[in-house]
Copies of this chain bind each other. A is one copy, B any other.
Amino acid sequence: MLILGVDPGLTRCGLGLVETGGPGRARLVSVEVARSAPHDAPDSRLDAIGAEVERLLDASLPAALAIERVFAQHNVRSVMGTAQVSGVVMREAARRGIPVATYTPSEIKAAVTGNGRAPKTQVAQMVTRILSLDAPPTPADAADALAIAICHAWRGATQASSAPATAAQRRWAEAERASRRR
């Protein structure tokens, strides 16, 4: 199953495509960062990012899109731009009938490293290991996008249904619940 992970941002928007074969198995397909110029008008910047996302969706036809959930942070101005980008991205997925899943930063970190408070470098290291890459993807937005795709690959099945269907899924869900309690 092909999953597009999106780390939304107005200056840099990470776009990571991962092919998954179920829990524990994931392969890098492509990773890129859509950019817009900070001195451009906000609407033009949203259109630049949106056009890149549309191109990638149409070229790759992912089975699902996973995107980081945006929260209010210290930098309110930057978080609003991030939320606007996520709105554009989610809508383009919906237009194409591609299911959208959202994850919090700590859910993503926990899924990839086992620790919801892992530093960014550790997340990038685990992404590198999981996808058998030679070096951590750069910039950070690229690694984050891949982490989001991996998070969905490994969590999506258990999240989609409240009663996991197979014994393996049940074991996975139990292990995950246990890791969250830690």
> Which residue numbers of A lie inside 8 Å of B, CB to CB?
41-44, 46-47, 50, 70-72, 76, 79-80, 83-88, 90-91, 93-95, 100, 102
Complex contact B87–A47 (CB within 8 A): no
Q: Which of B42, B72, B90 contacts A84 (CB 8 A)?
A: B90
Complex contact A47–B95 (CB within 8 A): yes
Complex Cα gap A100–B45 (Å)? 12
Complex contact A42–B83 (CB within 8 A): no
Complex contact B87–A83 (CB within 8 A): yes
Smallest CB–CB gap between A8 and chain B, Å? Answer: 10
Complex contact A47–B83 (CB within 8 A): no
Number of copies: 2
Give the nearest-CB partner of A44 in chain B.
B94
Complex contact B80–A46 (CB within 8 A): no
Complex Cα gap A143–B93 (Å)? 32
Residues on the B chain within 8 Å of A71, using CB: 76, 80
Considering residues A84, A90, A91, which has the most beta carbons from chain B within 10 angstroms of its beta carbon?
Answer: A91
Q: Which of B41, B84, B91 contacts A47 (CB 8 A)?
A: B91
Smallest CB–CB gap between A65 and chain B, Å? Answer: 8
Q: Which of B42, B79, B100 contacts A90 (CB 8 A)?
A: B42
